[in-house]
Structure 1
Amino acid sequence: MHERRRPHHLLLTSEGRAVQHGWWPNEAVARDKCRRWIGSVGTMATPARHPH
């Protein structure tokens, strides 16, 4: 059986307001968009990773 992939949703906010929004068919494309969007508007702090 073929597994159906879900699209990846990206919502970029600034000061609580949506700035960019989109859906992409694969994670690599969504991550690239995120890097490009953040680079186009400045830098944003990366959240700290917490151990599980």
Structure 2
Amino acid sequence: GPAIAGLLNLLNATFGNTTELIISVFALCAGEIKIVQSSILGSIISNILLV
């Protein structure tokens, strides 16, 4: 539905691509929260600078 599409669009905008999203999910499951936080921060900064 529209709610799931909105969530997927938000995740895509945050992580940039599917590979990054998948790696972040596995890192989060492994307890590597700092890696996921760094990835999200890097994506946000990249989007601010390049878009």
Q: Tell whether the structures are fold-level matches, with TM greater than 0.5.
A: no
Q: Give me the TM-score of the superposition, normalised by structure 2.
A: 0.40
Query: Highest relative contact order (Cα 8 Å, sep 6+), 1 or 2?
Result: 2
Structure with the higher fraction of residues in strand conformation: 1
Q: Give me the TM-score of the superposition, normalised by structure 1.
A: 0.40
Structure with the higher fraction of residues in helix conformation: 2
**Larger Rg: 1 or 2?**
1
